[in-house]
Structure 1
Amino acid sequence: MEPPQDLKSIQEKIQTALVATTRLTNQIAAEDISFQRTSNPEVGEQLDDTSSRLLSLASSLLKSATKGTDLKAPVLEDSDDVDVHWVRIVDVVDTLLEKADTCLDEYTGVIKRKTAPTEQPGPPSKKSRPATLDTSLRRANIIKPQNAFELKPNNLDPSPWKPILTTKPHALTSLQDSLETFVDDNQATQYKHPYEAEIHNLQYPEAVFQTKEPIKYQPVETTTATFVNTFEGVLEMLEELKSAMEIAIDTEHHDFRTYSGLLSLMQISTREKDWIVDTLQPWRHKLEVLNEVFADPKIVKVLHGAYMDIIWLQRDCGIYIVGLFDTFEAAVALQYPSRSLAYLLKKFVDFDADKKYQLADWRIRPIPDEMFYYARSDTHYLLYIYDMMRNELLQQPSEESGHNLMNQVLDKSKETSLRRYETSAYDAENGQGPFGWYNLLIRQSAGKFSREQFAVFRAVHKWRDEIARREDESSLYVMSNATLFDIARRMPPDPKALHSLLDATSHIAKREAFNLFKIISKAKAQGANGPSVAEVIRSNASPTMGIGEVAKSLLPQIRSNDAEISGIQELVSQTSKLWGKVPISSRWEEPVVDKTKRTMQFELPWAQIMKSGKVLEVVEATTSQPASRMEESIIHLEDEPVDSEFTLKTGLKRKAPEIESDSESEEANDTPSKPGSNSASFGDTDEIAVPDSDDSEDQRRKKKAKKAEKRARKEALKEERRQAKKLARRAKEEASTDAANMSGKGEDEDEDEPFDYSKAKSVLNAARTSNGAPQAAKFNPYGMTIDGPKPARKMHGEKAGKSATFKR
């Protein structure tokens, strides 16, 4: 079997196992684990055994993954150790992912497998090197170079950032007129881009719109790059750059041991030569002299992904680019499967870039050879890539309008070169901005924070930002995000507990632990009456943002069944943000009451009851008391709302009383009644009479007469019933009086004689009667379930067989 088939089969097996494991994990998480553990001790033991086995397996995997590296695997003894050593676990996982990514690239052929020795001597990048970056190159322990800068960064100044330009070469508008202020969309005052007018009026050279033979790059083995770390070397380089028609530019940046970032290195290449400029020199602000080339509209500046390079150059060196061609925008326009510089180097040059050095600490001096070669390779081949992509843009078919595609790339490049650096003030109230806590809160999913925890989170985040600005360190160097959330969740009760939560590398936080604990205690006390997370999220949400989107932003763990989510009702807006007070459903509409008086009349179907020939028993307090309200024939509904609902239900017939004698029955049945009252009345009573304003006066008069006739007929019928009932009651009373007189004497004798309970028969232990009468079988409540369910009847042609179950 071929290797690709083996890999595919292994991949399918791994994926199937992962899917099954994930499903089982979700099923277990959906159950009430705590209840199962409490109610069933065996389940608790099994859960403890499984947790111990998983923790042991995880520790073994971490130990195995860190072999051959500088990382030290943590030992996980309980579930709390996962939170304690979370940062170290993430480092191990990152290392594994980097190894997997490198192996996959080598297997698929994206990167050539690095083997040594090789048949032909190659550049330093072809040498075998470890897949991960050494810790000493990633986090170097060196003196901060910004301490020696002539223009030190001021992170505490809240005023808008002003460009550090002192001169403006190739200007269409003077420097003084260019440095005007305006109010941005956030109502903040900012300075305009000094070269805004020049970029808007830019006309690219005609060579950009001409298809030419690509100029081959110089061999790396036969050429070297010049390291520029003096201002005299900068001036010499500038004289050579003025004669070029295109130059390639790239930068390297560092942001871990500084608050706003440091432009650490700048690479510049022409068709013949490469330069590596040290931008960490104390005089780095003097590099603005390069604007004589960088702002020259006749010279094309080629960069890849210049989105942040534009910001770093103007912030640290006062350099602005006019005439930018961004190869990233060209890759987007040409719809390449990947837009990275590594892809372009592989596609056009067949060069394998080792991108692990992107994470290197570029403040290291002297620069290691491998890092120096990596920095040079970013610009050495870029002009040749520019030639290839320019021709491809211009050679598009006529129906696709290749010339317009080139203009699209140039317009996007202009937009990138117009980007400005702005200082961001810390927003302690709403947490907005690049250094605010709002985006961090959304990403880390703190929806379960209580008011006190939320207050502690904001207070610690503000403290971390203040310390980072004052010490000129990044916020992550002062305190990691994991530690920040851990402190907010646990709210340590004393400084010692707080000190135990801090990372070993958080030297500044450990130094300020006592002051930090005071801030935490104060925030905890004030947080009881402070805002909740839901209130802050709702206040910062877009007006058209629905409750579903807010909930997802606030509570990504909402799909977890065992998550205890509180405060959801606070997220629900009482009115629609889009429609205002217009109700979305008719259920929310307020009932409209019609003040005009309307009357609805309907008759109850007494005729149907009379057809049964039974007389309903009506209990009266006195003979003079009128009949019950249920016997009323007409029901008036007045002053009811138009939209009110009513339901007529036909109840069960009440059981008629037993007739004492035939004479009473005959007397009751022979009671005279009006002809047709039993038959005709039912049809009439099905009508519901609603006054209509359109009826004529004659029709109204006829309806009233008809109603009066029905009312009189019903009154007569009711009177007949009353008389019949009175006669029946009188006969019954006379019969009961005679019976009482006949047995009065015997009852008196029995009442004088007391009952002897000692001679009474036992009720609980009563003996069976022996008179021969059949005895009823005792009720057995378990009789229906002793023999099991009743079997199904036999089908046609089925014969009885033999059973040999449990036969020995």
Structure 2
Amino acid sequence: MVCKMSTSTQSRTTSDPDLEAYNARVFSAVLRTTQAASKLASQDLTYHKRAAPDVTGAIGRCSKRLLGLTNVLLNAVGGKGDLTSVDALVEKWSTIGDVNDTLFEKTDTYLDMLANRKSELASTTPPIQSLKRKRGKLDSAIANANIERPQRNFPIQPDNYNTSPFRPLLSKKPNAMKSLEESLKMEYPKDNGQPYYRNPYQYEIEHAKFPKSMKKPSKPIDPMTFENTAVNWVDTPEKLRTMLSSLRNETEIAVDLEHHDNRSYIGFVCLMQISTRSQDYVVDTLVLRSELEELNEVFTDPRVIKVFHGANSDIIWLQRDFGLYVVGLFDTYHAAKVLDLEGKSLGYLLDIFCSFKASKEYQLADWRIRPLTQAMLDYARSDTHFLLNIYDKLRNKLLASGADKLESVLSSSRKECKQRYERLAYDYEQGSSPGGWKSLSEKWAVTEEMMPMLKAITQWRDFMARKHDDSVNYVLPNRAIFGILKSKPVSVPGVIGIIGKNISEAVKENVDELLKIIAQNDPGVTRVDGVREAMSASTNGSDTDKVVDQKPVSADTKENEEIARKRTALAAELFTSPSEVMTVKSQFWGSIFGHNQQQPS
């Protein structure tokens, strides 16, 4: 069976030596089986079957055994263990993923109870009511909404080809220690590097003083109940001014963003959540994009602490989209890191400090949708509603651990604020650009023979993403590139089989270019033409055997492409997720369920 191991479960430690020994055995097995699964996915199984007939039988027996283990697991957790083939496994892959997630969540809960870690960290105040939400699949209309692109209505249209130095969007500079004119001068590196504009608030970030009250312990302020807190949807300049007037009177605010980067090359912020001690604000940044610079009045005021969790990307997005800068940041991620807490995620902090279970089902939601569903709105504001209470508790723990701990967090937070947004050109030579070939070649251990094709495909993908204003992974997923490298399809159906049903417009309209790249880097393909007609016929369900080189496709080629399609589908998690993938032995599951299951031989 193939399943995903949670990071929190991997790093879990307890005071029980027997459990520690058991965990060590389990993770050792996980490591070995993960390595084995990775090696298996990279092999040419068709070749091995032909070279050694015994391999066919061994693979069949192994597949049957793994399907049996999967069925045992599904039955054990109340599901239907009725998988009979690899195709059935692929069809029900998302359901099996849900089972894995549930098992890992329960494992985390019970290990927490065993280790008794919560009693050490939790507040003595009464637990906050958790927002109960039924676990289930995200509505497909929300997850994959085919909606009009909001960036087409932005006052300044995205320019995906502009790689010149990014000039900050500031038109004025509130809370300035240095003037706007002085802060917007071009810098020229002495090493002949690319010129750039400095962060216009760099001096203020480095020299502004935090309020003295921050460095004194105080009793944490309990947040208002989630259900009874006023929610303000801010989508007009008038509502924005009203919110800003209220924020001026605060000493600390919590901030978070929801970003979209799938149907956009650069990406853009869709929502901004701001919470005070008594109010939750959700700002529609799609309609107020050009108005939000006014928030610099509060965002750059060092007397108002801005609490974020993991602000690294948020700082960049605020600069790029709205000309917003942050002075006076407290990043709760860095606080958790300095305190060496067992978990560093916001979900962990919400659970430990606030007894609030954050929902995960909307992490990949399409935040461009308007109007938001109530569930999406609740999810968005839950990221900031409790954050000021978490800030109170983390700050007290830092002060109790020594003044240097708090200073370390503030230093890391200043470093986050000093970041600069810069436009990126595609780096063909080094492959270090986002979506470039370097990380993919290292992840897949690409051979020298494959490198020219990998470099050419990733460069083509970046160009198409800029042209169509889509992300590189929307244009052509990483797993599809891997499948192409392994099988080198020579026909339109071959490309379709590797990518799957969700083929981007960029590939549909330019599949001839993609196949030419494959042909130019594969001596076995000699001629490429007639592709647009073939692509149209294939996507319309007719003439699917039409091929690129206009020569009959052999049975071997068809079989190779079908195997590659199935293999890349099953290996998708391995090659698109930083989480590990493992193959689990039967005795491992038998020991967990407390009985010996008869497995298929």
Contact residue 264 and residue 279 of structure 1 kept, 8 A: yes
2:467 is aligned, of 450, 459, 470, to 470
Residue 147 of structure 1: aligned partner: 152
Q: Report deviation, 1:91.
A: 4.9
Residue 481 of structure 1: aligned partner: 478
Q: Deviations over 1:585-615 (max 9, x none)?
A: xxxxxxxxxxxxxxxxxxxxxxxxxxxxxxx
Residue 349 of structure 2: aligned partner: 344
Task: Tell me if 1:48 matches 2:56.
Answer: yes
Specify whether residues 483 and 92 from structure 1 end up closer, same or farther in structure 2 by C-alpha distance, changes over 3 A only: farther
- Letter matched to residue 367 of structure 1: L
Q: Deviations over 1:2-37 (max 9, x none)?
A: xxx9x97997899499589959979x99xxx99998
Q: Deviations over 1:368-413 (max 9, x none)?
A: 22221122122122112222222222233xxxxx223222221111
Specify whether residues 15 and 268 from structure 1 end up closer, same or farther in structure 2 by C-alpha distance, changes over 3 A only: closer
Q: CA RMSD in A?
A: 4.1
Specify whether residues 276 and 74 from structure 1 end up closer, same or farther in structure 2 by C-alpha distance, changes over 3 A only: farther
- Letter matched to residue 433 of structure 2: G
Q: Report deviation, 1:153.
A: 1.4
Specify whether residues 9 and 483 from structure 1 end up closer, same or farther in structure 2 by C-alpha distance, changes over 3 A only: same
Secondary structure at 1:365's aligned position in 2? coil
- Letter matched to residue 425 of structure 1: A
- Provide runs of 4+ in structure 1 moved above 6 Å: 7-14, 23-26, 33-39, 60-69, 525-528
Contact residue 62 and residue 92 of structure 1 kept, 8 A: no
Contact residue 502 and residue 510 of structure 1 kept, 8 A: no
Q: How does 1:224-623 map to 2 (within 5 A)?
A: 224-281=230-287, 283-396=288-401, 402-446=402-446, 448-450=447-449, 453-508=450-505, 509-524=507-522
Instruction: Give, in whole Å, the separation in 1 of the partners of 2:404 and 2:484.
Output: 55
Instruction: Work out which structure has the larger RCO, using CA pairs closer than 8 Å and 6 or more positions apart in sequence.
Output: 2
Q: Report deviation, 1:358.
A: 2.2
Contact residue 313 and residue 320 of structure 1 kept, 8 A: yes
Task: Tell me if 1:102 matches 2:105.
Answer: yes
Specify whether residues 61 and 483 from structure 1 end up closer, same or farther in structure 2 by C-alpha distance, changes over 3 A only: farther
Instruction: Give, in whole Å, the separation in 1 of the partners of 2:406 and 2:413.
Output: 11
Instruction: Give, in whole Å, the separation in 2 of the partners of 1:162 and 1:89.
Output: 49
Moved more, 50-59 or 421-430: 50-59
Q: Report deviation, 1:166.
A: 1.3
Instruction: Give, in whole Å, the separation in 1 of the partners of 2:349 and 2:462.
Output: 39
Instruction: Give, in whole Å, the separation in 2 of the partners of 1:23 and 1:483.
Output: 21
2:185 is aligned, of 180, 184, 203, to 180
Contact residue 335 and residue 394 of structure 2 kept, 8 A: yes
Specify whether residues 477 and 64 from structure 1 end up closer, same or farther in structure 2 by C-alpha distance, changes over 3 A only: farther
Specify whether residues 460 and 240 from structure 1 end up closer, same or farther in structure 2 by C-alpha distance, changes over 3 A only: same
Instruction: Give, in whole Å, the separation in 1 of the partners of 2:194 and 2:525.
Output: 30
1:222 is aligned, of 212, 228, 235, to 228
Q: Report deviation, 1:287.
A: 0.4
- Letter matched to residue 431 of structure 1: G
Specify whether residues 52 and 229 from structure 1 end up closer, same or farther in structure 2 by C-alpha distance, changes over 3 A only: same
Task: Tell me if 1:76 matches 2:86.
Answer: yes
Contact residue 217 and residue 395 of structure 2 kept, 8 A: yes
Q: Deviations over 1:462-489 (max 9, x none)?
A: 1111111111111111111121122233
Q: Report deviation, 1:356.
A: 3.6
2:205 is aligned, of 190, 199, 212, to 199
Q: Report deviation, 1:160.
A: 1.7
Instruction: Give, in whole Å, the separation in 1 of the partners of 2:24 and 2:399.
Output: 48
Contact residue 230 and residue 278 of structure 2 kept, 8 A: no
Specify whether residues 44 and 148 from structure 1 end up closer, same or farther in structure 2 by C-alpha distance, changes over 3 A only: same
Residue 190 of structure 1: aligned partner: 196
Instruction: Give, in whole Å, the separation in 2 of the partners of 1:24 and 1:272.
Output: 51
Instruction: Give, in whole Å, the separation in 2 of the partners of 1:23 and 1:416.
Output: 35
Instruction: Give, in whole Å, the separation in 1 of the partners of 2:406 and 2:84.
Output: 54
Specify whether residues 93 and 459 from structure 1 end up closer, same or farther in structure 2 by C-alpha distance, changes over 3 A only: farther
Residue 689 of structure 1: aligned partner: none
Instruction: Give, in whole Å, the separation in 2 of the partners of 1:505 and 1:219.
Output: 42
Contact residue 435 and residue 458 of structure 2 kept, 8 A: no
Specify whether residues 291 and 23 from structure 1 end up closer, same or farther in structure 2 by C-alpha distance, changes over 3 A only: closer
Contact residue 160 and residue 466 of structure 2 kept, 8 A: yes
Instruction: Give, in whole Å, the separation in 1 of the partners of 2:84 and 2:365.
Output: 25
Task: Tell me if 1:128 matches 2:126.
Answer: no
Specify whether residues 21 and 481 from structure 1 end up closer, same or farther in structure 2 by C-alpha distance, changes over 3 A only: closer
Specify whether residues 526 and 406 from structure 1 end up closer, same or farther in structure 2 by C-alpha distance, changes over 3 A only: farther
Instruction: Give, in whole Å, the separation in 1 of the partners of 2:291 and 2:237.
Output: 8
- Letter matched to residue 242 of structure 2: E
Contact residue 129 and residue 225 of structure 2 kept, 8 A: no
Q: Deviations over 1:307-354 (max 9, x none)?
A: 111111111111111111112222222222222222222222221212
Q: Report deviation, 1:149.
A: 1.2
Q: Report deviation, 1:199.
A: 0.8
Specify whether residues 193 and 50 from structure 1 end up closer, same or farther in structure 2 by C-alpha distance, changes over 3 A only: same
Secondary structure at 1:355's aligned position in 2? coil
Specify whether residues 56 and 318 from structure 1 end up closer, same or farther in structure 2 by C-alpha distance, changes over 3 A only: same
Q: Deviations over 1:243-272 (max 9, x none)?
A: 111111111122222112221111111122
Secondary structure at 2:363's aligned position in 1? helix
Contact residue 135 and residue 361 of structure 2 kept, 8 A: no
Structure 2: which 5+ runs fail to align? 1-15, 115-127, 527-601
Q: Deviations over 1:169-210 (max 9, x none)?
A: 111222222112224678222211010111111111111122
Structure 1: which 5+ runs fail to align? 112-121, 397-401, 529-808
Q: Report deviation, 1:57.
A: 5.0
Q: Report deviation, 1:421.
A: 1.0
Specify whether residues 148 and 24 from structure 1 end up closer, same or farther in structure 2 by C-alpha distance, changes over 3 A only: closer
Secondary structure at 2:167's aligned position in 1? coil
Secondary structure at 2:312's aligned position in 1? coil
TM-score (norm 2): 0.72
Instruction: Give, in whole Å, the separation in 2 of the partners of 1:335 and 1:35.
Output: 50
Instruction: Give, in whole Å, the separation in 2 of the partners of 1:36 and 1:51.
Output: 10
Instruction: Give, in whole Å, the separation in 1 of the partners of 2:428 and 2:134.
Output: 49
Q: Report deviation, 1:301.
A: 0.9
Specify whether residues 124 and 13 from structure 1 end up closer, same or farther in structure 2 by C-alpha distance, changes over 3 A only: closer
Instruction: Give, in whole Å, the separation in 1 of the partners of 2:83 and 2:172.
Output: 55
Residue 785 of structure 1: aligned partner: none
Secondary structure at 2:272's aligned position in 1? strand
Specify whether residues 21 and 523 from structure 1 end up closer, same or farther in structure 2 by C-alpha distance, changes over 3 A only: closer
- Letter matched to residue 441 of structure 1: S
Instruction: Give, in whole Å, the separation in 2 of the partners of 1:96 and 1:494.
Output: 37
Specify whether residues 152 and 94 from structure 1 end up closer, same or farther in structure 2 by C-alpha distance, changes over 3 A only: farther
Which of structures 1 and 2 has the bigger CA Rg?
Answer: 1
Specify whether residues 24 and 128 from structure 1 end up closer, same or farther in structure 2 by C-alpha distance, changes over 3 A only: closer
Identity of aligned residues (%): 36
- Letter matched to residue 201 of structure 1: H
Moved more, 340-349 or 15-24: 15-24
- Letter matched to residue 365 of structure 2: A
